[in-house]
Structure 1
């Protein structure tokens, strides 16, 4: 693992883009119902990725197993995870949703043991306990504050979405890691759009305000979040390795709170800052490359 200025720049850039998506999502649900916004986003994303595949003379997976893996990843990672997050944006601050989503690596450790047979090390178990303890500290203080702005039901919905993302991560490790990432991403977007469409028809009115907010949030989520973050992520993996790249996730909760504070004026309290310390430390301990310790 080599940390140089290029690795640092790529890692921080990826974290800023990943974290900014939550603030963008908060703006997005002001212009469109959550599920309708995502249906349009995933439809545009699938079309754009399919055109890129054609231009690069590549194609969607022709292996049935890869195709079904991509579909299930689309259901877990895109439809359920982001669907839950966008619904939560209606009643929960973007910083809180981001903090909950940042716990995904911790939950993945717990799921990978029974599903993948990856027995966690003492360090990872300590990181899991530390991170969840910090999250519980932040959550407790936010819900008990006199000026509480986060709805408990919305927090629960965001937590369910985060668990779905952890399930998708485990599935990817088990079945999709060797497939073409661009093709799998296209399948995921297409599957998510198909799954969310009937749900949106049943639960929401397509009351969309086709103004500037809708346009820029769609452009940002489709182009920046679908392509830019993917390219930066793989560049980071090439430069630093998968383990070192994953370790950068410890920056996400703090950066997300900072962006939400700047762009939306969401308050950041002393208890938030205190709770972020064990959350970030726990995520770092879980994701830190094993070869430094000579263990897995």
Structure 2
């Protein structure tokens, strides 16, 4: 009888041990920095590639917007992207993987594709492009503050210093022109757009890490398509009535929606929200390089100085540092 009791207790102990181990795994220890994966140069390469893809949308978007308007452009961009994503996702959207990503994807689509893009495009009606770029470049600061409030990241002085230097480089590159009458509304739109972008980055970090990026991108894009549909139907312009350069630019915007958004979600997942948002400060530099390459735009001394400050600041902010001890 005692041997049976002993065997039963050992069996019970063995059964209970995995349960305790699983419970420990579901409660990750507090961390001061978000986990990152890959070599430092590999992570930087992903961020730079994201910036180049994302910046190219401004060049292509300008060509299409001149013929179709901002909201019609966004509608057809998202509609074509939805069709492509349907080919990739297929029946997965009807399965558990697709259903789990639906509500988070619609929420992120509302923040990133509708509020961020809609307000930033609208802000251009009241502000110069330089002011919109400067306000949007504040995204890393907003994201860092929100992530710190949610306990996702620590408030790192080294990171703050690096982002401040990079932000100064953005200001040097794009310059600041005088604000005209009615610019207050444009500034409010640009700030609200940047805040929505930062909120989306912080919400995705951790909470939606297990979701499929393709399914998530599909629901995000579908949300943008549905929200911009009324504005598109109010105009008589459609992709069949635009010039070939504008049509080519529209198709490239679909590539940006596919590759750019996938890289953006990947950066948040692997490097944390504030570090992912930091790569947006490379956008003026990437946009200038693309403009010089594709449009023959001249590069001046001011551009070189600003670019140097951006690269130096981001290196300080993004390089791995010692993780502070936690209690």
TM range (shorter): 0.7 to 0.9
Kept in 1: contact 2:169–2:310 (CA 8 A):
yes
Structure 1 counterpart SS, 2:83: helix
Q: CA RMSD in A?
A: 3.9
Q: How far 1:113 sits from its partner (Å)?
A: 1.6
SS in 1 for 2:93: coil
Matches within 5 A, 1:192-211: 192-199=224-231, 205-208=235-238, 209-211=241-243
Q: Tell me the matched-pair count.
A: 280
Matched, 1:43 2:75: no
Residues 258 and 94 of structure 1, relative CA distance in 2, 3 Å threshold: farther
- In structure 2, relative to structure 1, the CA distance for the partners of 1:9 and 1:125 (3 Å cut) is closer
Instruction: Report deviation, 1:33.
Output: 1.1
1:118 paired residue number: 153
Question: For the residues of structure 2 that align with 1:153 and 1:134, how far apart are their CA atoms?
Answer: 26
Q: Distance in 1 between matches of 2:113 and 2:268?
A: 22
Alignment of 1:2-81 (within 5 A): 2=39, 12-54=48-90, 57-59=91-93, 62=96, 66-81=101-116
Q: Residues 213 and 227 of structure 1: is their aligned pair in 2 closer, same or farther, counting only changes over 3 Å? A: same
1:86-101 counterparts in 2 under 5 A?
A: 86-88=121-123, 97=132, 100-101=135-136
Deviations 1:204-229 (A, max 9, x none): 6344442213311221111x213344
Alpha-carbon offset, residue 181 of structure 1: 0.5
* Structure 1 residues 98 and 217, CA gap change in structure 2 (3 angstroms): farther
Structure 1: gaps (5+ residues): none
Q: Is the 8 A contact 1:23 1:264 kept in 2?
A: no
- Deviation of 1:233 after TM superposition, in Å, equals 6.9
TM superposition shift of 1:75? 0.7
- Report how far residue 254 of structure 1 moved: 1.0
| Residue ranges of structure 2 left out of the alignment (5+ in a row) | 1-37
Q: CA deviation at 1:157?
A: 3.8
Task: Report the CA distance shift for 1:234/1:65 in structure 2 as closer, same or farther (over 3 A).
Answer: closer
Tell me by how many angstroms 1:82 deviates.
Answer: 1.9
SS at match of 1:142: coil
Q: Contact 2:113/2:220 (CA < 8 Å) preserved in 1?
A: yes
Deviation, 1:77, is: 0.9
Structure 2 Cα separation of the partners of residues 77 and 226 of structure 1: 11
Separation of aligned partners in 2, 1:160 and 1:234: 21
Give 1:293's aligned residue. Answer: 322
1:226 aligned residue (254, 257, 261): 257
Contact 1:88 1:154 in 2 (8 A): yes
Instruction: Give the Cα–Cα distance (whole angstroms) in 2 for the partners of residues 135 and 24 of structure 1.
Output: 21
CA contact 1:35–1:200 (8 Å) conserved in 2: yes
Question: Contact 1:79–1:192 (CA<8 Å) still a contact in 2?
Answer: yes
- Where 2:177 maps in the other structure, the secondary structure is helix
Give the structure 2 partner of residue 253 of structure 1. 284
1:167-206 alignment runs, 5 A limit: 167-199=199-231, 205-206=235-236
Offset from partner CA, 1:82-114 (integer Å, 9 cap, x none): 223333556767676556544433321122122
Change (3 A) 1:280 1:95: farther
Shift of 1:2: 2.6
* CA distance in 1 between partners of 2:268 and 2:50 (Å): 11
SS of 1:118's equivalent in the other structure is: coil
Of 204-213 and 152-161, deviating more is 152-161
Deviation, structure 1 residue 3: 5.3
Q: Are the counterparts in 2 of residues 95 and 260 from structure 1 also a CA contact under 8 Å?
A: no
Distance 1:276 1:196, change over 3 A: same
Q: Distance in 1 between matches of 2:265 and 2:163?
A: 26
C-alpha contact (below 8 Å) 1:109/1:286 kept by paired residues: no
